[in-house]
Amino acid sequence: MASVKTWIYDLRDFLLPRRCAVCGCALSTSEQVLCSACLVALPYLPMTDFRDNQENRLFWGKIPVERAHSYLSYRHGSPSHRLLMQLKYNHRPDLARWFGRQMAKDLKRRRFFEGVDCIVPVPLHWLRRLQRGYNQSLMLAKGISEVSTLPVVENCVRRIRNNPTQTNRSASERIVNVEDVFSAMPNLPYHHVLLVDDVLTTGATLTSCAKAIQRQNPDVVFSILTLAKA
């Protein structure tokens, strides 16, 4: 049976070569969304002290955060930048879901999910989701859920205003741009919510999302997980 599967995969890769999402080279049968060289070369961030790191400090005094982590460092023109462009704008939900699983495998060993009750992906406005075809944060959350077994709660937060992109905005402009763009349902039956997004820059979007949840559910605390940190 294994040899038949291998033959099928080899035939698939010959007829429809799969390409690395970063460098574009053909993937081998054993490789998935990235080639081995690009996977090793990605700028991974250290998994140390989730309660007192650069990511967590962005939220101090704003929302109650238990743990925070970003998986990769994001720089314009870097491999992680090319990866995020594929994920967000080239219709690659499979890429987001795969990285969700990879993050969860690494973080589960470090007990990052301990005490977390559910996963809430930062929502897109329905117009942007229609244009893009999917919400990359939801796909990340689904990948995380497959490994962590935590439920994904998709509809407890809505994006009620289609605000302009945060790209090229200053820190203060980012805060204003995401004010009151989310609404949340009351009586959320969870205490510790893991918020998931693709990129963390100033934390303005995640803070706005968390505050919307907290207005309706004052006792909720948060952990934060993103694929990359700018």
- For the chain, the domains span 12-41, 43-229
DSSP state of 191: S
**What does residue 56 show for φ and ψ, rounded to 5 degrees?**
-60, -40
Transcribe 137-174 into DSSP letters.
HHHHHHHHHHHH-PPB--SSEEE-S-PPP-TT--HHHH
pLDDT score of 180:
83
CA–chain centroid gap for 207, Å, is: 15
Distance from C-alpha of 166 to C-alpha of 157, rounded to nearest angstrom: 19
Length of the chain in terms of residues written: 230
pLDDT score of 49:
92
Quick one: CA dihedral 153, 70, 113, 209, positive or negative?
A: negative
CA–chain centroid gap for 115, Å, is: 20
DSSP state of 70: E
**170 with 177: CB under 8 angstroms?**
no
Residues in contact with 95: Cβ distance below 8 Å, sequence separation at least 6, in sequence order: 21, 33, 83, 86, 87
The Cα-based distances of 154 to 65, 127, 158, 166, 192 in angstroms read 20, 17, 9, 22, 15
Task: Give the number of other CB atoms < 10 A from CB of residue 212.
Answer: 21
Taking Cα atoms as reference points, which of 170, 165, 168 lies closest to residue 124? 165
β-bridge mates for residue 26, sequence order: 19
Question: How do beta strands 192-200 and 182-184 pair?
Answer: unpaired
Per-residue pLDDT of the chain (230 residues; tens, 9 = 90+): 555 454 444 545 555 789 999 999 999 988 999 999 999 999 999 998 999 999 999 999 999 999 999 999 998 888 899 999 998 888 899 999 999 999 999 999 999 999 999 999 999 998 988 888 999 999 999 999 999 999 999 999 999 987 666 565 656 665 556 778 999 999 999 999 999 999 999 999 999 999 999 999 999 999 999 999 99
Residue indicated by tokens 């999917």: 134
